[in-house]
Amino acid sequence: MIDVTALPPAPTRGRKKKSFKILLLLLGFMLFATLVDVFVFARTSLQLDESQSLFQVSRNIPGLLNLVAQDVHVPGYHLLLHFWILLFGSDITTARYLSIIFFVATIPVVYLLGKNVFSRRVGLFAALLIAISPFMLWYGAVARMYSMLALVTVVHQLFFVKIYKTGKPIYWIGYFFMTIIGLYTHYFFSFVLLTEAIFYIFYRKRFPPHSFVKFLISLLIAFATFAPWLLYVYRLGLASNDQPYLTIPSSGDLFDAYAQFLFGFQTNGINTFIVSLWPILVLAAFFTLQRKKRTTPASIFLIFMAVLPVLGAFVISLLVKPFFLSRYLIISLPSLILIFAWVISIYPIKIQRIIQAAVVAGTLILLMIEIINPNSPIKEDYKDAVAYVSSQATAQDVIVATAPFTIYPIEYYYQGPAALTTQPIWNRFVSGSVPAYNPKTVVAQTNENVLNYQHAWLILSYDQGYNTKLKNYYDSRFQLLEHKQFSPGLVVYEYKISYNKPLSIP
Amino acid sequence: MNSISSAKANRLFLLLNVVLAIAYFICIAFFFPIGNPVLFGLLIGCEVFHLLQALGYVHTVWPRKHSKEFETSFSEPVAVYITVTGEPADIVEATVRGALSMEYPAFNVYILNDGYVANRENWQEAEEVALKYGITCITRTTPGGAKAGNINNALSKTTEPFVVVFDADHIPKSHFLWSLMGYFVDKRVGFVQSPQFYKNQDQNLVTAGSWEQQELFFGAILKGKDAINSAFMCGTNMAVRRKALEQVGGMSEFSIAEDFLTSLLIHQKKWKSVYVDAVLAEGLAPEDFLSYYKQQFRWARGSLEVVFKYNPLFRKGLTTNQRIQYLSSASFYLSGVVVLINALLPLVYFYSGLQPLTISTMTLALFFLPYIFIVLYTVQLTSGFSYTFRALSFSISSFPIHLQAIWQIITRKKSGFVVTSKRAIKGNHSYLVTPHIVYIVLVILGVIVGSLREGLNASILSNAAWSLVYVFTFIPFIMAAFQKFTPDSNEEIALKPVTKEVIND
């Protein structure tokens, strides 16, 4: 006799219909995200970081590893991008499609994570918020590892939650492999592992038997596979060569990170408006006081994931070394969105619907602003800046890029006859860090330019602490003919640096 | 929870709560730049109060192991008092029926009729009910002492060594006496209290709000007090040892919160108290806003009297735990002043540009948000996730009631004991939320004035958001005040069988 009650219930027609409806909605979200990224964000100007990606992955594998080791990153994404451009082409738009794939794949995984931790409704709403998130859409179309990091994090979290709930071997295998991939995607993935470890310490007895040993073995093997990379970086001793100049974060930066996660990259005015309304969070917390709405351990895991990496990076940046960048903390974004969707789901149904509609409408409006507004702080319009210079600079001119590493995106677009240099001068093809700003060296380099060129096109962006000094020096010595700003922090200045007829080129 | 047990989790969050509360207070008091000194002083006063209340709450609900003697075969005679002051006969009758159906070997039911001394037209109805059910009705003819006087009068006319008190609308369950009396096997137990459960909680916004406020008190708070021998009597659904009452001269007639003060006096005589966390009787919440207002006022006035006239800190015979608990419970009603000051701070900024601190709003957020989130989560965790936004709204919005009580105490104005109406009082009670409506209007005007002065800058926006927090918190209270009442709708509820169990964990 078969015990009928022991069998799982056969999927009913209604349930199938519901699943189909959810599938359609998820496909709709994914289609929206793809269209926005392919037709809007993938067509924007190449950014500095992307140009570095392209530069690094255009080498052979040993060269690529060497360059990435000099950077502050790990080579997982770069290796994938290397083969991607070999297969599909090396232009920036093609390179960005790889990131779009990672981003779009994140949407259904967020749904699955939300479904497993909370409910289908919460998962679905979170998936929608991810699909329309100005932050995710932006980094979804950036040829960097961030969308891959988000995807790997969410998949890893899903396996972790599944282990917590069922302990099935398949999830352990998934967890193990995703740990290795995560470690090779970004150093900040270690915050994911640390947060999971903290959660495990609190809820260890809720996990299946022997999970401690299994976690230990998984992590030891994963770290063993990662160790060669660390040894390689250590042996090269170059890890800090290309590190950008970062300031110690303030409390404002901390809130800005969360504001960016939820509302994207807005101008100072809009950002101040949003962030200043923080007391509303107190009201939102008051609204969560609902009878018998308990927080489950799995939801606490997501709260940990939304908070601890950000706080950890903030505290370490204060106490040890600044590396607080919202894009590195993309690991917290899916959890934050899930928690946000869950908190709204706690409210009485009428309030829930109103807030959901307001959140979606508000996010879409902010997305539109991010797209349309040329002053959006994330934008780097090297494309138009270089086009502007190209249309005017001649073979008797010199283009001076500062900070020196901004040579990458300028070089990508510039095809004209003018000479291209940096101040301070930096030879990218020789191992070593970007030279420090030295007024005497700058004077010597400028004098040399004066001898050879008529006009200097000073392209200032990515201030490393000396852009103003350099500009003041040029202002004090040369006649400023024109200047134009192309995006926040990216300005082109044209100076007449010599009145002598240049040497004719034979 | 298996890995971190409930008690461990509670301790962890309570500790975190204390750490964050102290850290936040220290930052506010000593590290942030001071703006206007007067406003800063007021803010610090509020923060001291918050800190003490937070520490008091942690002290109350801190998980402790405790055990109490209980004897199922305890069967000493009990006098069951049903206090009546002109309540409708059907309500009294339902309670009498419930009392008579209790399972216990030796008890007598008495109606303590104060209708005559309270000049109620229907005062004879209680006697008719007593006659109908063959029980004794003790009708007072000499007024004095309100409910406490009524009970004391009955004490002089009855002889049972234990008394149980029910308000006219609190219908006991059949196992009420079995569940309570066994604790008196410990000869030092002076009284045993059980929760007040409102069966009409779903009737309207007022009953819902009243009950949700009660739930935290009759859940986590009284359970916590019980663990440190600090539970107090709540006027109904309680059993008291006659000897303990007699030692303190009966129920105290000098306070309108006679139950609270009598508990304190009994504890002073080294009697123990017990709280039984099970719904053993079901009563009625105030159905209309005016009745709710009067009930809250009576509790506030009575409790604050204890702070000012019988300050537990200086009463001999109380343990340290009891001193802390009585003071913390009684001083809760001072929160009206704190709410008023906190709610006015944004308005002061809108109209004058003055503020207590001159730190960036983000820095304040960095310290305040983790603190408030942990506080709210801890309250939920320790209350078994029973606290609601409406309960919070009613507590915060009751600030005019608390202020009125404080004012009456300061001006030494006398206030009589008013029995909470068991039927909705007709009429428009929305005038009782005039302060809240005025606040909303002032906020709207204030935002305009402030914006005209300095534009929509971060400070104006933050203060606007703060005042919105108060506005939205007042809304459920305002809605309750504007709700139309249907006075006859509770007849059915008063007589329907008891079904709900809410407080049991």
pLDDT digits over A33-62, tens only? Answer: 999 999 999 999 999 999 989 999 999 999
Direct distance between the N- and C-terminal alpha carbons of chain B, in angstroms, rounded to an integer: 15
The span from the CA of A158 to the CA of A114, in Å, is: 9
Residues 6+ apart with CB under 8 A from B292: B206, B209, B210, B285, B286, B480
Nearest CB neighbour to B473, from listed A286, A291, A295: A286
Instruction: Judge if B222 and B247 occupy the same domain.
Output: yes
In which residue are the tokens 């990131």 written?
A: A99
Give residue for tokens 């609902």.
A290
B397 touches chain A (CB under 8 A): no
Measured distance CA(A114)–CA(A126) in Å, rounded: 7
Element (H, E) at B454: helix B434-454
| H or E stretch at B84 | strand B78-84
User: In terms of CA atoms, which chain A residue is nearest residue B386?
Assistant: A291
Residues in chain B: 505
Pairing label, strands A455-460, A397-402: parallel
Assess if residue B462 is contained within a domain: yes
Q: DSSP secondary structure string, A429-467? A: TSSSPPPPP-HHHHHHHHHHHHHH-SEEEEEE-S--S-H
Q: Is B495 a domain residue?
A: no
Alpha-carbon radius of gyration of chain B? 24
Query: Which of A204, A252, A277 faces B465 most closely, judged by CB atoms?
Result: A277
**Interface touch B360/A295, C-beta < 8 Å:** no
pLDDT, residue B254, reads: 83
Q: How many residues are there in chain A? A: 506
> Distances in Å between the alpha carbon of B257 and those of A453, B301, B304?
93, 8, 9
CA dihedral B303→B307→B310→B313, nearest 10 degrees, is 130
Q: In chain A, what are the domain boundaries?
A: 13-372, 382-496
Tell whether B15 is within 8 A of chain A (Cβ). no
Report the C-alpha gap between A478 and A458 in whole angstroms.
12
Both B140 and B243 in one domain: the answer is yes
Number of Cβ within 10 Å of residue B496's Cβ equals: 12
Are B58 and B87 members of one domain? no
In this structure, the answer to whether residues B267 and B168 fall within a common structural domain is yes
Question: CA–CA separation, B295 vs B316, rounded Å?
Answer: 30
Residue B504 CB contacts under 8 Å (≥ 6 apart), including other chains? B277, B278, B279
Q: Is B466 on the interface with A (CB under 8 A)?
A: yes
CB < 8 Å from B in window 187-206 of A = 202-206
User: So what's the pLDDT on residue B421?
Assistant: 59
Say yes or no: B106 and B241 in one domain.
yes
Chain B residue numbers with beta carbons less than 8 Å from the beta carbon of A314 are: none
Contact with chain B for residue A285, Cβ under 8 A: yes
pLDDT value for B61:
93
Gyration radius of chain A over CA positions: 25
Cβ(A103)–Cβ(A139) under 8 Å?
yes
The answer to whether residue B218 is domain-embedded is yes
Interface check for A208 against chain B (CB to CB < 8 A): the answer is no
Tell me the C-alpha distance between A76 and A181, whole Å: 7
User: Are B51 and B87 contained in the same domain?
Assistant: no
> In this complex, is the C-beta atom of A354 within 8 Å of any C-beta atom belonging to chain B?
no
**Would the pLDDT of A245 be above 80?**
no
pLDDT score recorded for residue B340 = 97
Which structure tokens are listed for B69? Answer: 């003697």
- Inter-axis angle of helices A189-203 and A146-165, nearest 10: 20
Q: Does B366 touch chain A (CB under 8 A)?
A: yes
Average pLDDT of chain A is 90
Q: Which helix (H) or strand (E) holds B137?
A: strand B136-139
CB contact under 8 A, A294 and B462: no
Long-range contacts from A265-271, C-beta under 8 angstroms, 24+ separation: A265/A134, A265/A135, A265/A138, A265/A370, A265/A376, A265/A377, A265/A378, A265/A379, A266/A366, A266/A369, A266/A370, A266/A373, A266/A376, A266/A377, A267/A373, A267/A375, A267/A376, A267/A377, A268/A377, A270/A366, A270/A369
Place of tokens 């009201």: A283
Identity (one letter) of the amino acid at A172? W
Mutate to test the interface with B, among A207, A254, A276, A318 (most CBs of B within 10 A): A276
Nearest beta carbon to residue B461 from set A254, A277, A285: A277
Task: Give the distance from residue B482's alpha carbon to the nearest chain A alpha carbon, in angstroms.
Answer: 20
Residue B129 lies in a domain: yes
Out of A204, A252, A292, closest to residue B362 by CB: A252
**Three-class DSSP category at A126:** helix
Pair (B340, B280) in one structural domain: no
pLDDT: is B418 or A326 the higher one? A326
Whether the CB-CB separation of B108 and B158 falls below 8 Å is answered with yes
User: Using CA atoms in the order B318, B319, B324, B325, what is the torsion angle rounded to 10 degrees?
Assistant: -80
CB-neighbour burial class of residue B351 (10 A; exposed 0-12, middle 13-18, buried 19+)? middle
Count: domains in chain B: 2
- pLDDT value of position B364: 86
* B468/A204 CB distance under 8 A: no
Distance from CA of A273 to the nearest CA of B (A): 7
Question: Is residue A336 scored above 50 in pLDDT?
Answer: yes
> Could you give the CA distance from residue A263 to residue B99 in angstroms, rounded to a whole number?
61
Domain of B120, CATH number, reads 3.90.550.10
A278 touches chain B (CB under 8 A): yes
- Is the same domain home to B343 and B398? yes
Q: Is B1 on the interface with A (CB under 8 A)?
A: yes
Cα separation, B235 vs B83, in Å, equals 10
| Chain B residue numbers touching A203 (CB-CB < 8 A) | 1, 3-4
Q: What angle do CA A108, A110, A112 make, to 5 degrees?
A: 70
Cα dihedral across residues A203, A206, A210, A211: positive or negative: negative
Residue B216 lies in a domain: yes
Interface test with A, best of B205, B360, B362, B473 (most A CBs within 10 A): B362
Q: How far apart are CA B222 and CA A363, in angstroms?
A: 45
Instruction: Report yes or no: A439 at the B interface, CB cutoff 8 Å.
Output: no
Contacts of A291 in chain B (CB under 8 A): 212, 385-388
pLDDT tens-digit readout, B221-230: 999 999 999 9
Crossing angle (nearest 10°) for helices B458-482 and B361-382: 30
Name the residue of chain B whose CA is nearest to A253's CA: B362
Average pLDDT for A115-121: 95
Orientation of helix A349-372 relative to helix A120-132, angle to 10°: 20
**Among B280, B311, B342, which residue terminates a domain?**
B311
- B37 & B174 share domain: no
**A-chain residues near B362 (CB < 8 A):** 250-252, 254-255, 275, 278
Q: Which of A439, A449, A474 minimizes the C-alpha distance to A459?
A: A474
Residue A346 above 60 pLDDT? Answer: yes
pTM of the model: 0.82
**Among the listed residues B419, B339, B362, B477, the one whose alpha carbon sits nearest the alpha carbon of residue B45:** B339
Q: In 10 A of CB A280, how many CB atoms?
A: 17
Q: Identity (one letter) of the amino acid at A27?
A: L
**Which chain B residues are Cβ-neighbours of A288 within 8 angstroms?**
376, 389
Q: What is the DSSP string of B244-303?
A: HHHHTTSS-SS-SSHHHHHHHHHHHTT-EEEE--S--EEE----SHHHHHHHHHHHHHHH
Chain B residues near residue A280 by CB distance under 8 angstroms:
465, 468-469
| DSSP state for residue B34 in the 8-state scheme | B
pLDDT over 70, % of chain A: 94
Of A205, A280, A287, the CB nearest to B468: A280
| ipTM field | 0.85
pLDDT of residue B419: 57
Euclidean distance between CA atoms B53 and B333, whole angstroms: 11
Q: Taking CB atoms and an 8 Å cut-off, how many pairs form between chains A and B?
A: 100
Q: Are residues B340 and B306 in the same domain?
A: no
Rounded distance, CA B48 to CA B219, Å?
26
Q: Which residues from chain A sit within 8 angstroms of residue B389, using beta carbons?
A: 286-290
- Are the beta carbons of A286 and B4 separated by less than 8 Å? no
| Nearest residue of A to residue B476, measured between CA atoms | A287
* Chain A positions in Cβ-Cβ contact with residue B212 (cut-off 8 Å): 291
pLDDT exceeds 80 at position A92: yes
Cα of A150 to nearest chain B Cα, Å:
25
Please tell me the distance in Å from B182's CA to the nearest CA on chain A. 32
- The dihedral of CA B231, B236, B237, B240: what is its sign? positive
Q: Name the residue range of residue B187's domain.
A: 78-311
Chain B residue with minimum CA distance to A205: B3
Residues of A in contact with B387 (CB under 8 A): 289, 291
Q: Bridge-partner residues for A487, per DSSP?
A: A490
User: Mean pLDDT of residues grouped by 10 in chain B (505 residues)?
Assistant: 62 92 93 94 96 94 90 94 93 95 95 92 92 95 89 95 96 96 96 93 88 90 95 95 95 88 96 96 89 90 87 91 94 94 97 92 86 91 89 95 92 66 67 95 97 91 95 94 65 37 29
Of B285, B283, B289, nearest in space to B425 by CA: B289
Contacts of B468 in chain A (CB under 8 A): 279-280, 283
Compute the nearest-CA separation of B503 from chain A (Å). Answer: 12
- CB of A212 less than 8 A from some CB of B: no
**Portion of chain A with pLDDT greater than 90, in percent:** 69
- Please enumerate in sequence order all residues whose Cβ is within 8 A of that of A470, keeping only pairs 6 or more positions apart, or say none: A402, A423, A437, A442, A458, A460
Is B365–A255 a contact, with Cβ atoms under 8 angstroms apart? yes
Residue after which a domain boundary falls, among B276, B311, B346:
B311
pLDDT of residue A2: 44
